[in-house]
Amino acid sequence: MVTKRTWLTGCSRGLGLAMLQQLLRDPEMEVWGFSRTRPEVEHARFFWQEADLAAPGVGFTVPEAACTAKSQEGNPLQAVYLINNAGWIGEIRHVGQLTSAGIAALFQLNTTAPLQLMNQFLALYGQDENLKRVILNISSGAALKAIDGWSAYSASKAALNRYSETVALEAAHRNSSLRCFSVAPGVVDTEMQADIRRAPADEFRNLEKFTQLKSSGQLWTPERSASRCLDLLFHPEAFSETLVDVRAENWPIASEQRP
């Protein structure tokens, strides 16, 4: 019986696709995916809506059918989740060499769209203490430090971290059970990493490091990172902090505890 719903952005490939596939293993879960291209997933509990989250304007509005108090089967929902996964590394160049259009598109996708979706999600479900509610924002370790060539990307993810912390703080002030996390997913073998390895060496001094991570097999698979990201969704009580890194030692969830 379907009693859970997830909104998932950037679900067509990489980490987002891996999370989609793992979410659908839960027979009680329906997933609403939002991306520019449709993932190659056909499932009775998967519903897809085309969405260009980097487009300027008033932002993407979640379809009404994904905003109801009942699942598509007609069962009252017991849990609702939002995963803001869509993201872009942007132009890997020093400040002064970036384009205004590139900066605007990056912040729209990495920061503004997630903030807007959190606002929609909380307007719908924020006051319903009968529901389990978890927000999971895919951030980056780059949010915590300056990296040459990544100024806009790092800043966009730092903003996402702070917004997540504020959502968590406001929930605590209301004595709400809602949880909000901003998670660094590790260095994952996705198209974004391929973009990083194509960066000009004179604009990105860490190029050799990222090239070696790939050649030496040190990148995490999307599936490995996805399983840890989803641990926060299914077991939020095991995590006390809002900012989480999947590479943390002594990870509290064992593989047998996953759906």
Over its C-alpha atoms, the chain yields an Rg (Å, rounded) of 18
| Torsion (CA) 247, 251, 255, 259 in degrees, nearest 10 | -90
**Largest Cα–Cα separation, the chain:** 57
Q: For the beta carbon of residue 104, count every other beta carbon within 10 angstroms.
A: 14
Q: Which residue among the candidates 81, 125, 153, 163 is catalytic per the annotation?
A: 153
Pair 42, 31: CB distance under 8 Å: no
Answer yes or no: 153 catalytic: yes
Q: What is the DSSP string of 229-249?
A: HHHHHH-GGG---SEEETT-S
Cα–Cα distance, 179 to 197 (Å, whole number): 35
Cα–Cα distance, 67 to 62 (Å, whole number): 7
The angle at the Cα of 247, spanning 160 to 90, to the nearest 5 degrees, equals: 40
* Catalytic residue list: 153
